[in-house]
Structure 1
């Protein structure tokens, strides 16, 4: 197994590093300032975002996540993983490169499962960065860690489907550019367990969609992106909006979540690396009790532990990406589950140490650490909580060992 970068990835990585230094980092504060200057954080997108996106397109750093060369860069999961880590270092960078969730997952779904009509109407504008999208799956009234509990109804009536239900943590729905949702719901309660759910495309301007409120993450509202509590009441869409076919929702989910978890984990590793660098810089600058923090044993221990943990998580994630590329998502289930537990937890620990070294500044918005920590803590719940992934890991290893012992 070879995890090193090939020449093409090395070239893209160098371009990304330069772009981050010249465009992303210098404009992080500009983005925040513009976001807070407008009349509404929810109706206006900071102009600097479109300026940066235009530069990313021109630099050839656009849609790098799509493995289908017809629509994107044609990189494998392993090749893209090296690049996603760099993008993950800044909260604004993924959108700049058109590689931000949930658009990435939604675009991948449309590439794999969309009809030509669906691709023309929704995929192309998403690929061009002209619109944004959201994914409505989780529900407040059931334990959504078990997706078979999802009870939003998608019912066929003639040439239409009628949708009724309540969703929350519908990330991206608050964005004024959000034009389409992928909604997961129950289309046939009498079918076998994993054939009851379907996914369907729902335009945002369809009557019956009501955003009840925004849900902050540890006080961060993530405007203008946001996370919404959304009601669907007699929402009618054409039958042609169904993705892949009735009862195929779990099949689509598995195709969507595998690459998405690689993206999340490499982004977490990127955050951890940046937090590590900020921790070192702060420790070099501060000299309590007569000597720099970098000469304090506890700080040196934190630095050593962080370096070990970051590199371990990176290797594990790259290995999972390699497995997905070579044997497929189904065979790589255990490796994908492992990284989803390990990478966010690792990054939380590194960011937490960096916060401690920064003192009061670490919990403020002067540094990016508090927002990083909030996002990483939420990531241990998003895309399946850690406990579900640990159950998968244990079951698969128990099955393997029982088979060996026979």
Structure 2
């Protein structure tokens, strides 16, 4: 395994870092002020001009759709950056230092996974209708999978029905934690549901394209995450009530939802984990600066042994998580997602827990300031804690890892696919 970054990646690291310094960090205060002003004016769910202005700068500098892998770029007809998972990973880390930064590069979830899904599995008509405006940043999208009435950590439980009626499919179901659905720019849902309840367990589910303006979609409410509603992106509870879409909107074919999910979730987990590592790096940086500048009981907080231990332990945890994630990305590139499934599950356990711990230590060093939005730590913690559920709870991934490990020593081979799960 050679984790030396390619010349192409190194050059992009410099450019993305320079862009963050010039345009993202200076805009953080403006972002918060605009969101507060929109809230006061009753326009909380409005696209922020601060981000839109930065997007135009990123486009102009060619720092756009960097996530788009080689195969998806070829399938979409869009050149993109054409990076491998290993090449893109360090760029995701840099973007992750500010939670909204990835959107400025058109590299944010759930759009990245949706674009890859449509590029790989959508018909030419679907790609023309939805992929092109997504790649250009004209619209946004959502992925409708998780449901409140079942344990969605086991995706075979999903009960939303997708039923064929002539030249249409009719969709009925209750979803929640549908990220991005509250954004006024959200124009399309990739929706997962049960098309054949009597089929074999992993052939019951399908994925279908649903326009956001389709009759019968009912948004109930935006949900908050530990007090944050993530406006204007949002995570909503919603219903599909006799929603009708053309039969041609089915992706790949009936009963192939799990197959699509296997292709979608691996790269997405690399993106999530590397962004978390970037978030943890920033928290570590803030912790060191704060500890060095604050005096308590006659000496700096950095002089306290307990603080030094936490700073050292945080460095170890961050670097270990990064190396494991890079290994997963490398293995996906050289051997494919299925071979890398154990490593993908491991990073999904390791990175969110690491980030939560590092951010928690940083909050502690900041004292009361760490609990409010004068610093980005409280919001960062809420986001990191969410990722212990999103794309599958820790317990599901640990169970899968244990099965694969036990299978090495069992006379009866134990195998399992990569967990297909959201919340």
Give yes or no for TM over 0.5.
yes
The Cα offsets for residues 217-259 of structure 1, whole Å up to 9 and x where unpaired, read as 0010000000000011000001011111100100001101000
Aligned to 1:141: 149
CA distance in 2, matches of 1:24, 1:330: 36
CA distance in 2, matches of 1:262, 1:153: 30
1:322 pairs, out of 318, 321, 330, with: 330
Q: Does 1:353 align with 2:361?
A: yes
What is the CA-CA distance between 1:400 and the residue it aligns to?
A: 1.7
Aligned to 1:67: 69
Aligned to 2:233: 225
What is the CA-CA distance between 1:271 and the residue it aligns to?
A: 0.4
Q: Does 1:26 align with 2:34?
A: no
Q: Does 1:237 align with 2:245?
A: yes
The root-mean-square deviation of aligned C-alpha atoms, in Å, is 1.2
Q: How does 1:308-319 map to 2 (within 5 A)?
A: 308-319=316-327
The answer to whether the Cα contact below 8 Å between 1:88 and 1:267 also exists between their aligned partners in 2 is yes
Q: Does 1:276 align with 2:291?
A: no
Aligned to 1:264: 272
The answer to whether the Cα contact below 8 Å between 1:265 and 1:343 also exists between their aligned partners in 2 is yes
CA distance in 2, matches of 1:41, 1:256: 33
The answer to whether the Cα contact below 8 Å between 1:174 and 1:228 also exists between their aligned partners in 2 is yes
2:347 pairs, out of 317, 327, 339, with: 339
The answer to whether the Cα contact below 8 Å between 1:183 and 1:200 also exists between their aligned partners in 2 is yes
The answer to whether the Cα contact below 8 Å between 1:207 and 1:235 also exists between their aligned partners in 2 is yes
The answer to whether the Cα contact below 8 Å between 2:148 and 2:174 also exists between their aligned partners in 1 is yes
The Cα offsets for residues 44-92 of structure 1, whole Å up to 9 and x where unpaired, read as 2121111100001111110000113443211000000011000000011
- Aligned partner of residue 395 in structure 2, secondary structure: helix
What is the CA-CA distance between 1:29 and the residue it aligns to?
A: 1.1
Aligned to 1:50: 52
CA distance in 2, matches of 1:74, 1:363: 41
Q: How many matched pairs?
A: 405
CA distance in 1, matches of 2:152, 2:212: 23
CA distance in 2, matches of 1:161, 1:402: 44
The answer to whether the Cα contact below 8 Å between 2:45 and 2:231 also exists between their aligned partners in 1 is no
Aligned to 2:418: none
What is the CA-CA distance between 1:402 and the residue it aligns to?
A: 2.9
1:40 pairs, out of 37, 42, 49, with: 42
- Aligned partner of residue 337 in structure 2, secondary structure: coil
CA distance in 2, matches of 1:25, 1:272: 16
- Aligned partner of residue 402 in structure 1, secondary structure: coil
Aligned to 2:175: 167
CA distance in 2, matches of 1:319, 1:266: 12
The answer to whether the Cα contact below 8 Å between 1:201 and 1:241 also exists between their aligned partners in 2 is yes
The answer to whether the Cα contact below 8 Å between 1:313 and 1:343 also exists between their aligned partners in 2 is yes
CA distance in 1, matches of 2:56, 2:152: 38
Aligned to 2:386: 378
The answer to whether the Cα contact below 8 Å between 1:41 and 1:223 also exists between their aligned partners in 2 is no
Please, what TM-score do these two structures have when normalized by structure 2?
Answer: 0.94
CA distance in 1, matches of 2:49, 2:392: 34
Long gaps (5+) in structure 2: 414-423
